[in-house]
Amino acid sequence: MGARSSAIRAIDVFCGIGGLTHGLRSAGLDVVLGLDSDASCRYAYETNNAGAAFLEADVRDVRFADFESLYGKSRINALVGCAPCQPFSSHTRRNGASDDDCGLVDEFARLVGEGTPDLVSMENVPGLAKHQSFSNLLNFLIDLGYHVDHGVLDFHEFGIPQHRRRLVMVASRRKAAALPKPTADSGRVADFIVGLDPIEAGQSSPVDPAHACLPLSALNLERIRQSRPGGTWKDWDPALVNPCQKRSRYPAPYGRMRWDAPAPTITTQFCYYSTGRFGHPAQDRAISVREAALLQTFPRDYQLVDPDAGMPIAKLARHVGNAVPVKIAKLIGSSLMRASAHA
């Protein structure tokens, strides 16, 4: 996949393993560079996005002029980015994220100001919408003359087999920019994760190192055996129930997904059966990294693990849970193409 002849040359700041880049490229943008401070994203980013280079760097040390010296000033006309969202998630804010953690959105705004590219886009958790950093970014873009559209989208309305609400912003200096409109197709788990080798808790597939899941304790194995798809701990023998589950308002932890419904939000913790409804609909285990990637709408052949280096499941899960689903990234890319004077 690639878009080498596109008139829109883009840089993906905070690129991770490339969910956003991959979708934008399939919409026709030429994403030439992804920047991320985590070197372990390089393999998946470069292997699956031929022609896009991975720059391992802290965004705070990078200037737009650095991109210009690599590609020439007239040639970078889009800056996209998905800053780490933990500082703005309701969970993290309850647990005391400091405002210092929120400065990476300000760094993204700084790069926009330095380069004033024709097109800008970002994705983040809905909590960012209430934060000063987001108001500052919007005001900054408007003062620079950009046309901006933004809103919280439920990605399930765009054919993604998950309930995943995210703040999306698109901006263009030349034409009105508009967010993607919901699509007619709905997403169900069954349409995305069938046809893989059956594996047991703690195993990986011999043909796909990313089709791997964490082991379960004897207690959790018994719990998942007694769980029905879409059910709760109320399905279990009372002896298996932890007293705090009875007091909790959240029945999903230790739950199994249903085949005929969307999955819950694929978080960075999906590999732990205890953290949400991350049990496989039919097998007695949490979903594998490959299954999570498919629910994030990565193509089935997206290479996640360097066969020479390997990667712990929890780290892979963080990369996959952090990603922008490829399908929504493609729709955002189409919006940017329409908003481009060159499209």
Ligand X SMILES: C[S@@+](CC[C@H](N)C(=O)[O-])C[C@H]1O[C@@H](n2cnc3c(N)ncnc32)[C@H](O)[C@@H]1O
Nearer to ligand X among residue 108 and residue 236 (C-beta): 108
Alpha helix stretches (DSSP H) within the chain: 19-27, 42-48, 64-71, 90-94, 103-115, 132-143, 218-225, 243-247, 289-295, 313-322, 326-339
Q: Is 125 in the site for ligand X (CB under 6 A)?
A: no
- Minimum distance of ligand X from residue 183's CB (angstroms): 19
Size of the site for ligand X (CB under 6 A): 21
Single residue of 10, 160, 324, 328 touching ligand X by CB under 6 A:
324
Say whether residue 41 binds ligand X (CB under 6 A): yes
127 binds ligand X (CB under 6 A): no
Q: Which of residues 77-106 bind ligand X (CB under 6 A)?
A: 82, 84-85, 104
Q: Which residues pair with 10 in a beta bridge?
A: 31, 78
Residue tagged active-site, from 15, 41, 82, 85: 85
Tokens describing residue 277: 């409804």
Q: How many CB atoms lie within 10 A of CB 81?
A: 25
CB of 318 to ligand X, least distance (A): 8
Report the DSSP pairing between strands 119-124 and 78-81.
Answer: parallel
Query: C-beta of 93: minimal distance to ligand X in Å?
Result: 16
Taking every pair of C-alpha atoms in the chain, what is the biggest distance, in angstroms?
67
Out of 6, 11, 16, 162, point to the residue binding ligand X (CB under 6 A). 16
What's the token pair of residue 155? 């990605």
Distance CA 215, CA 155 (A): 30
Q: Which is nearer to ligand X, 177 or 293 (CB)?
A: 293
- Assess whether 85 carries a catalytic annotation: yes
The one segment of 37-45, 66-74, 197-205, 238-246 that binds ligand X by CB under 6 A: 37-45
Closest CA to 324 of 153, 196, 190: 153
Binding track over 46-65 against ligand X, x by CB under 6 A: ------------xxx-----
Quick check: 317 binds ligand X (CB under 6 A)?
Answer: no
Angle at 140 between CA 138 and CA 141, to 5 degrees: 65
333 near ligand X, judged by CB under 6 A: no
Q: In the complex, what is the shortest distance from the CB of residue 60 to ligand X, in angstroms, rounded to a whole number?
A: 6
Residues 101-120 within binding reach of ligand X (CB under 6 A): 104
Distance CA 127, CA 119 (A): 23
Q: Which stretch binds ligand X (CB under 6 A): 17-25, 149-157, 182-190, 223-231?
A: 17-25
With CB under 6 A as the contact rule, which of the stretches 139-147, 184-192, 232-240, 319-327 interacts with ligand X?
319-327
Under the binding rule (CB under 6 A), the answer on residue 293 touching ligand X is no
Residue in the block written with tokens 């880049």: 21
Buried b (16+ CB within 10 A) or exposed e, 264-281: bbbbbebbbbebbbbbbb
Site string for ligand X, 219-238 (x = CB under 6 A): --------------------
Of 15, 27, 128, 295, the one binding ligand X (CB under 6 A) is: 15
Instruction: Using the minimum distance from each CB to ligand X, give the nearer residue, 161 or 253.
Output: 161
Alpha carbon distance 204, 95 (integer Å): 34
Phi then psi for 148, rounded to 5 degrees? -125, 140
Stretch that binds ligand X, among 34-42, 183-191, 198-206, 246-254 (CB under 6 A): 34-42
Based on the shown chain and the rule CB under 6 A, indicate whether residue 66 belongs to the binding site for ligand X. no
* Residue with tokens 């933990």, as numbered in its chain: 86
Tell me if 168 sits within 8 A of 197, measured CB to CB. Answer: no
The answer to whether 164 touches 331, Cβ cutoff 8 Å, is no
- Active site residue ranges: 85
Residues that bind ligand X (CB under 6 A): 14-20, 36-38, 41, 58-60, 82, 84-85, 104, 322-324
